[in-house]
Structure 1
Amino acid sequence: MSVFYPTLLLCVYGFFSSLRPSEPFLTAYLLGPDKNLTETQVVNEIYPVWTYSYLVLLFPIFLATDYLCYKPVLVLQATSLVVTYVMLLKTQGMLAMQLLEFFFGLATASEVAYYSYIYSVVEPTHYQRVTSYCRSITLFGSAAGSLIGQLLLSVAKVQLLYLVIITLASAAVAFVAPWFLPMPKRSLFFHKSTGVAEERLQRKSKSLMEKAEDLESKEPLKKQDISTVSRSSEAGSGNGGLLEVLLMLFTDFLHCYRCRPLLAWSLWWALATCGYFQVLNYAQVLWENIRPSQEYEIYNGYVETLSTLLGAVTALLVGYLPVSWSLWGELVLCLLSLLMAVCVFVMDTLRNIWLCYSSYILFRATYMLLITVATYQIAASLNMQRYALVFGVNTFMALLLQTLLTVVVVDSAGLGLDVFTQFLIYGGYFAVISVVFLIAGLCKVVSRRRSEQKANNPAETESDSPPISDTSSCR
């Protein structure tokens, strides 16, 4: 029951907070008679506020989530969503919509509390199961919301205003759930119980010593790596102050990103997520230019539903792909990043709504596949204590890059380009990512073959130091 109750409430919250029938039609709603905004206002002055607020709030919310023990930040997220949709329903004008985007950025930044709360109230043996529940229910809620919105628009012929009302009602239902969640008594950094900290420290030390013995013939585990983990655990035990927590985070940051495979996957994570956010943020504007909602029936809801479900399926298929990611990971990233670039170019240049929809679905599914692989590969290189740190840093770097891209390309203070030119740049952006990982992959294959040749050369067999494995120093 101690596992069932918080998991059930969190799933209820995740489902209803993700059930947003108005989401696929937000651009059409803002450009329509209800808000009567221009495309320049929406694209160049309103939407960029979400990017800026998300970036500014991410790190403070990350620290506040741990310091306040998750639940208050969940309530804050629920409140922000309600405020967002009340403003979307009631307020008028560009300034009001910019403030709305700020509250939505606050809600998005607070998602860290949703995805980390459950780990503070259940035992580690239940982590895998409760994680699958919480993540799948949000995807299902998002897909259900998009499908409901499209059916109401196409079949029942309701106005877009009513989709906003339904979304607000769903947010109001979600607002109730966090209040009944039990308050955690521990957190990762600020309120870590001494007993748990000591137990984990002993477990890590034992694991590290065993690993050192296993790798003694290859590469001895560096003493500073063990001391780094020990200091981090000691700093995180008890009620650490802010300075101690920041020092621990910085020390762990330096330790984690010395690992080459982790650095490569994190680089792709940051670069690709930046472009992915930009494409998702402005895809509706592109569709609106190709097939105006005031003149034709639009099918954005079906597209979002299908892309979400297909993304979930591709994520599940990752565990069954017969790929040696340690050897071919960079080249796979190259090829699939190139595929994403082609999808964006097709959306931008052919300007056929059906090809545009299909390319968008394929683009999202490819990203979901790769981000799942990246998450798994990074997680395999880390101990449990560093997941939030590395994922948070990767997301922050993606948002930083997205902010720079938004300021230069989208914002009216920068170039303020039209949406077709923007997508041309986004396609080129993914092509550059593909080239970067092509070079990295070729260098890795060449380096590995040289190492194998040296190992097979009789003149080199007397050497005391065989080739170093890519993953031997990741932990």
Structure 2
Amino acid sequence: MGFCWSGECGNRPCWAGHYVPWHAGWVGPTVLLCIYGFCSMMRPIEPFVTVFLTGTYKNLTTEQVTRQVIPVWTYSSLVLLVPVLLVTDFLRYKPVIVLQGLTYVTAFLLILVGSGVRSAQLAFFSYSIAMAADVAYFSYIYSVVPPSYYQRVTGYVRAAILLGYAAGASLAQLLVSLDGVSLYWLAFVTLISVSIALMTSFFLPMPKTGLFSNEEYSADQTKSCVDAVLFFCIWAATGRCGFYQVTSYVQVLWVHIQPNNFTAYNGGVDAISTLSGAAASVAVGHVSLEWSVWGELVLGGFTVLIAGALFLMDLTDNIWISYTFFFLFKTIYMPLTTICTFQIAKKLNRRRYALVFGLNSFVGTVLQSVLTAIVINTKSVQLPITSQFLIYASYFAAISLLFTVRGVYKVLHLKRPAAGSQAERTNSMPGGSHL
């Protein structure tokens, strides 16, 4: 008797002799990928990285971080996403995941020991490579496990990522608030965590084939696929743009609201909002709704709340109110992006996941680069951080308007033929004309 790594016996003890190399079944790769995801996302320095860079540790100004350092990540991601997407399938995922781990280590090593604007820019460039490689991480599992386990392993991997991020943010908050630990220690713990992730990546089994190589699709299949998922892809891309823009600069807003606040609760807010968003994402997966009819209206309606939360974050000068509405923003965004993900996945051939999700990331990054160029790096404008968040709120309001109008039209369009068919059936019944 023993544990069955092949997965044939599920979670039960193995009596049938299903002893195969641990990496040959679905359990081994899933466990390793979850460990990698948890460790790579447990980055306690992130909720305080702006404070770390602008404080006495690195002595950069808020202006330098806002206009010279953070935009490097946005623009580099735009340039890197396409080549990474193209080589990911060719290299069969694992080498790109190893590269992601290596660039995470490089990024946080530079943040820990580097100094000056150039070092910070190089750190954010390395970080952008790691972010571009996310497509390999999220697609790898589908190339090494049978389709019957896709839903299960997707849930495990998603949970590991969210728990890792929440654990890092919680640890950061506890160390800073209770023990007054130096932010250098948070950067050091982050470096250790991503180093463990890098070492774990070497043990991942190599997939035998790619996901979308050598696949042929008919024109009818392609048209049907596009008609089902187009608007969910649009929201996924535009929502990603707005989300990363807000999360990249929200710490700058908090420094503006409450400057020189070393005991800020950035980590606690990040942890709680991540866990809340994760719970909402799990809950939305159990909602019984005809998503093909109501999905776009739901996206439009809840995006209104995101826009409202950002407007109120922008208007307040109270850090606790700003924290509260950031919590609301993140809690709403996560289940909405989950809706888009499972709707896209339901309609696609599984071998197209990497391609479509990669393209969504690319389009989102293009939009983010355009928004950054207009809002952050236009020398003649030089908008303050409060004006920037007013633009982000307006951006989500525009998305909400588009999806609400489209959703209302779709509901009315689909319900009207159904009502007409019901009337025809009633009239065709004996004596129906007398009712």
Larger CA deviation: 367-376 vs 340-349: 367-376
Matched, 1:63 2:86: yes
Partner of 2:187: 164
Partner of 2:302: 336
Matched, 1:416 2:385: no
Larger CA deviation: 125-134 vs 86-95: 125-134
Residue 265 of structure 1 and its aligned partner are, at CA, apart by 1.6
Matched, 1:390 2:413: no
Any residues of structure 2 matched to 1:209-220 within 5 Å, and which? none
Matched, 1:362 2:328: yes
Residue 103 of structure 1 and its aligned partner are, at CA, apart by 0.6
Q: Distance in 1 between matches of 2:315 and 2:296?
A: 28
Partner of 1:140: 163
Amino acid at match of 2:390: L
Partner of 1:470: none
Residue 443 of structure 1 and its aligned partner are, at CA, apart by 2.0
Residue 391 of structure 1 and its aligned partner are, at CA, apart by 1.8
What are the Cα deviations for residues 22-47 of structure 1, in whole angstroms up to 9, with x where unaligned?
Answer: 01000000110111111111111111
Partner of 2:230: 263
What are the Cα deviations for residues 83-135 of structure 1, in whole angstroms up to 9, with x where unaligned?
Answer: 10111011111122111111100001111121222222222222222222222
Q: Distance in 1 between matches of 2:409 and 2:347?
A: 21
Residue 162 of structure 1 and its aligned partner are, at CA, apart by 1.2
Partner of 1:286: 253
Amino acid at match of 2:352: R
Matched, 1:37 2:63: no
What are the Cα deviations for residues 424-470 of structure 1, in whole angstroms up to 9, with x where unaligned?
Answer: 111111111111122212322332344345545659x99xxxxxxxx
Which ranges of 4 or more aligned residues in structure 1 deviate by more than 6 Å?
A: none
Residue 53 of structure 1 and its aligned partner are, at CA, apart by 1.1
Q: Distance in 2 between matches of 1:165 and 1:185?
A: 37
Residue 335 of structure 1 and its aligned partner are, at CA, apart by 1.5
Residue 322 of structure 1 and its aligned partner are, at CA, apart by 3.9
Q: Distance in 2 between matches of 1:296 and 1:91?
A: 21
Selected match of 2:177 from 132, 143, 154: 154
Q: Distance in 1 between matches of 2:262 and 2:182?
A: 14
Determine if contact 2:45/2:187 at 8 Å carries over to the other structure.
yes
> Is the partner of 1:180 in helix, strand or coil?
coil
Determine if contact 2:136/2:354 at 8 Å carries over to the other structure.
no
Any residues of structure 2 matched to 1:294-333 within 5 Å, and which? 294-295=260-261, 297-333=263-299
Determine if contact 1:407/1:414 at 8 Å carries over to the other structure.
no
Q: Give the count of matched residue pairs.
A: 405
User: Percent identity at matched positions?
Assistant: 45
Any residues of structure 2 matched to 1:87-126 within 5 Å, and which? 87-126=110-149
Q: Distance in 1 between matches of 2:158 and 2:416?
A: 43
Determine if contact 1:408/1:414 at 8 Å carries over to the other structure.
no
Any residues of structure 2 matched to 1:153-192 within 5 Å, and which? 153-190=176-213
> Is the partner of 2:232 in helix, strand or coil?
helix
Amino acid at match of 2:283: L
Amino acid at match of 1:166: V
What are the Cα deviations for residues 132-167 of structure 1, in whole angstroms up to 9, with x where unaligned?
Answer: 222211111111011111111111111111111111
Q: Distance in 2 between matches of 1:295 and 1:47?
A: 21
Determine if contact 1:85/1:164 at 8 Å carries over to the other structure.
yes
Q: Distance in 2 between matches of 1:370 and 1:382?
A: 19
Determine if contact 2:135/2:357 at 8 Å carries over to the other structure.
no
Amino acid at match of 1:287: W
Amino acid at match of 1:290: I
Matched, 1:7 2:30: yes
Partner of 2:432: none
Q: Distance in 2 between matches of 1:333 and 1:397?
A: 19
Determine if contact 2:294/2:407 at 8 Å carries over to the other structure.
yes
What are the Cα deviations for residues 294-327 of structure 1, in whole angstroms up to 9, with x where unaligned?
Answer: 2452001110100110111000001332433233
Q: 1:417 to 1:326 in 2, by over 3 A?
A: same
Q: Distance in 1 between matches of 2:283 and 2:424?
A: 43
Residue 8 of structure 1 and its aligned partner are, at CA, apart by 2.0
Q: 1:7 to 1:331 in 2, by over 3 A?
A: closer
Larger CA deviation: 412-421 vs 82-91: 412-421
Larger CA deviation: 168-177 vs 388-397: 388-397
Partner of 1:276: 243
> Is the partner of 2:206 in helix, strand or coil?
coil
Q: Distance in 2 between matches of 1:133 and 1:156?
A: 33
Determine if contact 1:21/1:146 at 8 Å carries over to the other structure.
yes
Q: Distance in 2 between matches of 1:435 and 1:147?
A: 36
Larger CA deviation: 175-184 vs 437-446: 437-446
Amino acid at match of 2:287: L
Selected match of 1:380 from 323, 346, 362: 346
Larger CA deviation: 158-167 vs 266-275: 266-275
Residue 20 of structure 1 and its aligned partner are, at CA, apart by 0.7
Amino acid at match of 2:27: F
Q: Distance in 2 between matches of 1:431 and 1:269?
A: 15
Matched, 1:77 2:100: yes
Amino acid at match of 1:44: R
Q: Distance in 2 between matches of 1:327 and 1:12?
A: 38
Q: Distance in 2 between matches of 1:175 and 1:429?
A: 37
> Is the partner of 2:297 in helix, strand or coil?
helix
Amino acid at match of 1:274: C
Partner of 1:46: 69
Q: Distance in 2 between matches of 1:7 and 1:458?
A: 53
Selected match of 1:438 from 404, 413, 417: 404
Q: Distance in 2 between matches of 1:129 and 1:18?
A: 20
Q: TM-score, normalised by structure 1?
A: 0.80
Matched, 1:404 2:370: yes
Matched, 1:429 2:408: no
Q: 1:255 to 1:288 in 2, by over 3 A?
A: same
What are the Cα deviations for residues 162-218 of structure 1, in whole angstroms up to 9, with x where unaligned?
Answer: 11111111111111111122222211234x6xxxx7xxx8xx9xxxxxxxxxxxxxx
Partner of 1:218: none
